[in-house]
Each structure stands twice: as C-alpha cells, then as structure tokens.
Structure 1
Amino acid sequence: MEQGLDGRQAVYVHVGGCHLAGKRSKGVQRDQALRALTDGVDACPHCRPDSELGYLE
C-alpha cells in the first residue's frame, strides 16, 4: 500500500515486488488491500493488484 505525501491516506495498492511502489509503500495483509480497493483506493495500473487479488469492479 502506497501512502500519500501526508502519510495518512493510501493512494495506490500494489502487488508485492512492484517496481513502481515508492518509498512510502508498506506491506499489508490481503484483506486490508481488498478493503482499500473497495473503499476507492486506486489499483496500480502496472501491477494490477485488483486482478491479482480477484477483485474487479
């Protein structure tokens, strides 16, 4: 999960090992990533965690 510049709000969900995940990223559990996606946090367009996790809008 990549945090915004303020460090409080998530801006992207990434798959572990995504080379686009920046320094503000941290690992989270699968259920947390799915919850973030359902709450409207964008999926990284490169690594497509929504497809990887089985969540498609």
Structure 2
Amino acid sequence: MQSHPDLTFRKSSYSGARTENCVEVADTGAGAAVRDTQNRNLGHLAFPSDEWSALLAGIRSE
C-alpha cells in the first residue's frame, strides 16, 4: 500500500449507488491507484496502465 497526497480520488463507477463499501480510483499518469473509501488512511494500491486496462476489460465483459 502507498499513500500519495497529490492524487485526486473519485468514487469508482463500479461502486454503483452504494454509499458505503465503495472503491475510489485516481489516475496516476502511469496507470491507476485504488483505495477503500472506509479506510483511506491505509493508502492505495497502484496498477500500471496495462494491468488496469486488462482489469477493466475483464469487468466489462462480465
């Protein structure tokens, strides 16, 4: 896990209308960062662009 104050996180569209248990995503320039809305202080996971694209393609195909 990492923490970076310059990232701008937004609620993931895959979280739907839920107000809790959401996932937040930030563009890093080299991929994406993901964190748990309820545990922001724990940092985030960073994914390179190719891995992030593959994850989204897999989600969209389901």
**Do they fold alike, i.e. is TM over 0.5?**
no
The answer to which structure has the higher helix fraction is 2
Bigger relative contact order, structure 1 or 2 (CA pairs below 8 A, ≥6 apart): 1
TM-score normalised according to structure 2 size: 0.30
Q: Which structure is larger by alpha-carbon Rg, 1 or 2?
A: 2
TM-score normalised according to structure 1 size: 0.33
The answer to which structure has the higher strand fraction is 2
